[in-house]
Amino acid sequence: VLMYCGLVGGVIALGLMAHWMAHEFGADPNHVQSIEVSAYTATPLYMVGFAVLYPELWFIMCVGLLGIAYAVYMLYTGVPIVMGIDEDRGFIYASSLVTVGLVFLVSMLGLTVFMWSSGLGPAFIS
């Protein structure tokens, strides 16, 4: 349940950051459009989760790489359309969103390490 809340919270946080940065790139979206862009981009990454139904590492990695590639493609093609800006500004804006997403990812990994080292990690029982 916490993982699902974290995923939804990450999409909303990325949408709010997209809204905050939009005015610098000449766009004037509302909050819903900004969250739509982040949800639209994250959908292939969430669908990759079905790959674990076939538990082979090579298969999961290949499907994961395809999901990442398609998500980045959708981001770079979708931002200019949804935000109503030209493609040059859309490319820079999408690159900024990728950077923010990577910062969020590293922050979540750091928070996970902190929580696990504080005793909140999983308990493996044999």
At 31-64, the pLDDT tens digits run 999 999 999 999 999 999 999 999 999 999 999 9
Q: How far apart are CA 125 and CA 11, in angstroms?
A: 33
Q: What is the arithmetic mean of pLDDT over 61-71?
A: 96
Q: Spell out a b/e string for 41-73, using b for 16 or more CB atoms within 10 Å of the CB, else e.
A: bbebeeebeebeeeeeeeebeebeeebeebbee
| Predicted confidence band of residue 6 (pLDDT cuts 50, 70, 90) | confident
Q: How far apart are CA 79 and CA 50, in angstroms?
A: 26
**Both tokens assigned to 72:** 């980045």
Q: What is the arithmetic mean of pLDDT over 6-17?
A: 92
Residue 3 has pLDDT above 90, yes or no: no
**Both tokens assigned to 27:** 């766009």
Q: How far apart are CA 16 and CA 61, in angstroms?
A: 30
Mean pLDDT of the chain: 92
Q: Three-class SS string for 69-118? A: HHHHHHHHHHHHHHHCCCHHHHHHHHHHHHHHHHHHHHHHHHHHHHHHHH
